[in-house]
Each structure stands twice: as structure tokens, then as C-alpha cells.
């Protein structure tokens, strides 16, 4: 089963490319945790595949990274969602970070409670194309595609303490659209009408989105509190996994589309590398809709 | 004594730090593996201090070798364990370095390798390391937490 997931993840990665963000993501593909990178990740809930690289030297406070990503039309495994439509999107991000901002960099040879923090700036661009059928307008299959350019700048702070807890908060600005609030629709143009006495005709079908399309500047604020359960005291042969739990919030403070949701994620982690989840299930609730989604991924290089 | 290039390879889930001869070794990250090199004339003893951090219970390893060209690298020091509660573990120790590590069989190139293995054989790792430290002179690779 696991190999099947890995194969599926690999296939999903092929047509795309990051993620400076970790795989501890909610169903919308968002997180405030920027853990170790050089990660290829697939979030089935968001149908998002990403690949990233980070350059970091342990004794140097600054690091940088970049990544690329791609999403497909809609989530594959959103179990209780309202089938919000989404257009395929591709893009990239760049990241610059400072480590040990408030926490003290340990001296080699010393022990003690671990504390490590990171402050980073993540800027990115994404582009999607789709057909838009505006309300009260005559739909046409000859209408050109609408392009959407997504820009975002996010500042994030992560704090690791005690060997089993990581807190993350991220906030910034992002150019968004309201595609998720439109209705997935398709129009049909008859190319060859049905001959008299028959019911079969040839039609051209074009998928798009119906409603009043808008773009706006959002102000996302994300928080995560990740706790790693201790490993099994009596290891089971062949079972090298442990669990982590992620308490999360995802909000948009912009007045035009103010929203907030909270949730919880349960992740299955590699025993040898708990920062790389094998997979997880997250549930988020925004007051009206419960979204349950599945995240799975691979890491590169695999250790 | 000739100069040697000591290659440090450390794996842990967060960030490691290592000093050789009381000098920081810069480690570059690739996943859970951090790699760096220290070059210098250390005489017959290499002073080692390292700290590994990570998720409690996750494994860590420290390996110091000298590259021997076409032959297998000469092992100078090796240690491993699991991150204790609190998320951090540090040690100071030393390792015996032969004048030509590549001329010595890998398992003999660093005296600390054997001592680290000896420490692992005793259930109380910390106690055994203290015992090793008291028993052996620093030049023999004494190891204290």
C-alpha cells in the first residue's frame, strides 16, 4: 500500500515541480511550518505537487531556497467538501530565512533543552488559466481564457522546543480570486445537429466557472502547533513509525473576504525522520463546511 | 605531522554542531545529513565536540573519516544514538589519529571508534562514557558527556 502511495506521489510530481513549506499541510495546501526542505511533496487534498531546494550551512544564520509547484483542477480526496472548483495552477516561490533569531545557537559539545527558531520571508508567483462565464453574459466557446496571476509575500516564524513541539505562525498578503466561490460549469455548442428522427448530435463541451468573478488582495494568517508523540517503548519489528498531531488555524483578515477556520491534523511520521510525514489526515471547519483531506508525500533525497 | 582533511558526516533531524580542534566545522545540509570538512595538522589527537538536536527518540549519527582516495575512507571517530528527551545531546571527546590514517586498517585508524563501541555495549551509556573518560587518557579517545 505504501509503495502504491509513493508511486502515486511520484506520478503526481512528474508534471510539476516545492515546497519551502513542510508537508504538515491542511487540505487547502497551506501551512505555517517551514521545516527541513529539499522536499518533494504531494498533497492529495489540494492536488498539489511541489519540489524545493534550500541552501543552509549550520553555523551561518542565513539560508535561502526556492521551489516550484503545480496543482490540478480539484482535490482528489476531499471527503466532505462542497466540491469547490479550482483551476490548475503552476508557480514558484523563493525564501530567505534567518535561524536562531531569539533562541541561542548551541555550542558544540553542550547538552540541554533544544531550542531553535527561524524567521523567514517567502515570496511567490503562480499563474492559472480558465474559462469564465460571467453572470448575465451570453456564454460562448470562442471566449478567450481568463488568466490569473497570483502574487504572495508571507513572513513566517517557527519555534522548535523541547524535542517534541514546533509552533509556527505565518502572515502576509496574497493576490487571490474567488474561483472557489463560483460554480463549476460547462457550456455546449452544437457542431452537428441531430438529423430528423434521431437523437444523436455532435457537441463541443468546454468546462469553466460560472458566476461573478473577482480578484482581491487577501491577508492570510496561518498558525500551527505540532506535537510529536513519543516513539513506541517496545518497537514493533518492521514498524518504524510514530504519530504527530497538528492544531491549526487558517484565516484571511482582509475585509473583502474575511474568513477563519480551525482544524486538526493527524500525521503518520517516519520513526527515523519525524519531520517528514508519510501521510496524514486533516480536518478543518470554517463554521459551515467540514473539510477532511488526505496528505501524503515523499522526500528527496530519501534518507 | 602532515595535514589531514577530516570529513564530518552527521545525521539528525534538526541542526548539529561540531568543533574539531576547538574550531567550528561548517556543515551543509542535505535532508537529515550534514556534511563538512576540517583540514589541519592535529598531531596524534583530534579533539572533538559535537551537539545534535532533533525530535525526541529520532536517531543521530556522527562519523569522522579521512579520505583515502581509491581506498575506503579511514574511520577516525564514529558514534550514534537516539535524541534524548529535551531534544539535544552533546559530547566532548578525542580520537587518536595515526600519522598516516590511510595506511592503517579502517577499524584502527581512530581509537575512539573502539571506545565508542565499548560504551554502547554497556546499558548505561552515560555511565560507561564517564568510566571510559576516567580510565583512558585524553589522547586515547576519552569521552565524557
Q: How far is CA A159 from CA A168, B57, B60, B131, in A?
A: 6, 19, 21, 37
CB A108 within 8 A of CB B50: yes
- Identify the pLDDT of residue A44: 58
Whether residue A299 and residue B58 make contact (CB cut-off 8 A), yes or no, is no
Q: Which helix (H) or strand (E) holds A50?
A: strand A48-55
Whether residue A108 and residue B24 make contact (CB cut-off 8 A), yes or no, is yes
- Identify the pLDDT of residue A296: 67
How close, in Å, is residue B116 to chain A by CA atoms?
A: 16
The one-digit pLDDT tens for each residue of chain A (303 residues) are: 443 333 333 333 222 223 345 666 666 667 888 876 545 556 555 566 777 778 889 999 999 988 888 876 543 333 333 345 567 888 998 989 999 999 999 999 999 889 999 999 999 999 998 888 888 888 777 778 899 999 999 999 999 999 999 999 999 999 998 887 888 888 888 888 888 888 888 988 888 889 999 999 999 999 999 999 988 777 677 777 899 999 999 999 987 778 899 999 998 888 888 887 888 888 999 898 888 887 765 555 433
The region, left, alpha or beta by phi > 0 then psi within -120 to 50, assigned to residue A83 is left
Cell numbers describing residue B112? 575512539
Angle between helices B111-121 and B125-135 (to 10 degrees): 140
Q: How far is CA B11 from CA A24, A60, B76, B129, in A?
A: 22, 18, 17, 21
Report the residue of B9, B10, B34, B55 to disrupt the A interface, i.e. the one with the largest count of A CBs within 10 Å. Answer: B55
Q: How many CB atoms lie within 10 A of CB B75?
A: 21
Q: Provide CB contacts within 8 A for A265, sequence distance 6+.
A: A24, A26, A245, A246, A248, A280, A281, A282, A283, A295
**A54 touching B (Cβ < 8 Å):** yes
> CA-to-CA distance for A210 and B7, rounded, in angstroms?
61
Question: Strands, DSSP E only, in chain B?
Answer: 4-11, 17-20, 23-24, 28-30, 33-40, 45-53, 59-68, 71-82, 88-96, 143-144
- Identify the pLDDT of residue A72: 67
A101 phi and psi, to 5 degrees? -80, -55
Of residues A47, A281, A283, A275, the one with CA closest to residue A160: A275
Enclosing domain of residue B63 = 4-144
> CA-to-CA distance for B28 and B6, rounded, in angstroms?
15
Residue B130 has pLDDT above 90, yes or no: no
- Identify the pLDDT of residue A182: 87
Tell me the pairing of strands A40-43 and A290-297: antiparallel
Q: What is the pLDDT of residues B70-115, one digit of tens each?
A: 889 999 999 999 999 999 999 999 999 998 888 865 544 555 444 5
Shortest CA distance from A105: residue in chain B: B17
Annotated domain spans of chain A: 2-130+148-171+224-297
How close, in Å, is residue B119 to chain A by CA atoms?
A: 18
Of residues A23, A33, A29, the one with CA closest to residue A46: A29
Question: Strands, DSSP E only, in A56-164?
Answer: 62-71, 89-99, 115-130, 132-133, 146-161
Q: What is the pLDDT of residues A68-93, one digit of tens each?
A: 888 765 433 333 333 455 678 889 98
Count up the domains in chain B and report the number. 1
Cell numbers describing residue A9? 506521489
Which of the pair, B123 or B8, is modelled with greater confidence? B8
Residue B25 has pLDDT above 90, yes or no: yes
Q: What is the pLDDT of residues B43-72, one digit of tens each?
A: 899 999 999 999 999 999 999 999 988 889
Residues of A in contact with B85 (CB under 8 A): 163
Residue B39: pLDDT band with limits 50, 70, 90: very high
- Identify the pLDDT of residue B118: 43
- Identify the pLDDT of residue A127: 92
How close, in Å, is residue B65 to chain A by CA atoms?
A: 19
pTM, entire model:
0.77
Amino acid at each position: 500500500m505504501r509503495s502504491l502511495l509513493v508511486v502515486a506521489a511520484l506520478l503526481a510530481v512528474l508534471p510539476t515541480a516545492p515546497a519551502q513549506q513542510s508537508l504538515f499541510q491542511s487540505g487547502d495546501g497551506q501551512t505555517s511550518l517551514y521545516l527541513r526542505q529539499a522536499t518533494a511533496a504531494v498533497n492529495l487534498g489540494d492536488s498539489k505537487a511541489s519540489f524545493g531546494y534550500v541552501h543552509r550551512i549550520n553555523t551561518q544564520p542565513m539560508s535561502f531556497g526556492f521551489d516550484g509547484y503545480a496543482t490540478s483542477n480539484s482535490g482528489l480526496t476531499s471527503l466532505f467538501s462542497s466540491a469547490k472548483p479550482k483551476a490548475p495552477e503552476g508557480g514558484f516561490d523563493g525564501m530567505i530565512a534567518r535561524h536562531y533569531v531569539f533562541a541561542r545557537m548551541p555550542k558544540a559539545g553542550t547538552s540541554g533543552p533544544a531550542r531553535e527558531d527561524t524567521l523567514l520571508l517567502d515570496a511567490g508567483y503562480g499563474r492559472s488559466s480558465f474559462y469564465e462565464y460571467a453572470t448575465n453574459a451570453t456564454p460562448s466557446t470562442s471566449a478567450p481564457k481568463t488568466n490569473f496571476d497570483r502574487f504572495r509575500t508571507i513572513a513566517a516564524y517557527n519555534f522548535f522546543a523541547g524535542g517534541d513541539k514546533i509552533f509556527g505562525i505565518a502572515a502576509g498578503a496574497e493576490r487571490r480570486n474567488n474561483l472557489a466561490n463560483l460554480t463549476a460549469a460547462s457550456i455546449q455548442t452544437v457542431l452537428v445537429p441531430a438529423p430528423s428522427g434521431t437523437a444523436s448530435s455532435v457537441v463541443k463541451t468546454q468546462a469553466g466557472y460560472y458566476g461573478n468573478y473577482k480578484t482581491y488582495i487577501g491577508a492570510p494568517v496561518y498558525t500551527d502547533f505540532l506535537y510529536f508523540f513519543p516513539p513506541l517503548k517496545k518497537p514493533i519489528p518492521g514498524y518504524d513509525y510514530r504519530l504527530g498531531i497538528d492544531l491549526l488555524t487558517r484565516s484571511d483578515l482582509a475585509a473583502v473576504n474575511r474568513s477563519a477556520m480551525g482544524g486538526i491534523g493527524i500525521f503518520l511520521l517516519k520513526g527515523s525522520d519525524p519531520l517528514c510525514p508519510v501521510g496524514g489526515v486533516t480536518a478543518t471547519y470554517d463554521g459551515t463546511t467540514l473539510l477532511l483531506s488526505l496528505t501524503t508525500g515523499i522526500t528527496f533525497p530519501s534518507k | 605531522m602532515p595535514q589531514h582533511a577530516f570529513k564530518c558526516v552527521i545525521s539528525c533531524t534538526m541542526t548539529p554542531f561540531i568543533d574539531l580542534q576547538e574550531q567550528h566545522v561548517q556543515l551543509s545540509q542535505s535532508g537529515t545529513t550534514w556534511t563538512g570538512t576540517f583540514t589541519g595538522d592535529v598531531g596524534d589527537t583530534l579533539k572533538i565536540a559535537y551537539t545534535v538536536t532533533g525530535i525526541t527518540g529520532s536517531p543521530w549519527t556522527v562519523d569522522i573519516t579521512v579520505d583515502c582516495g581509491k581506498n575506503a575512507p579511514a574511520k577516525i571517530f564514529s558514534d550514534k544514538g537516539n535524541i534524548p528527551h529535551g531534544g539535544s545531546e552533546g559530547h566532548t571527546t578525542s580520537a587518536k589519529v595515526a600519522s598516516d590514517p590511510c595506511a592503517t586498517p579502517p577499524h584502527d585508524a581512530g581509537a575512539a571508534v573502539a571506545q565508542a563501541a565499548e560504551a554502547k555495549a554497556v546499558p548505561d551509556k552515560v555511565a560507561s562514557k564517564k568510566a571510559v573518560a576516567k580510565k583512558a587518557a585524553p589522547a586515547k579517545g576519552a569521552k565524557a558527556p
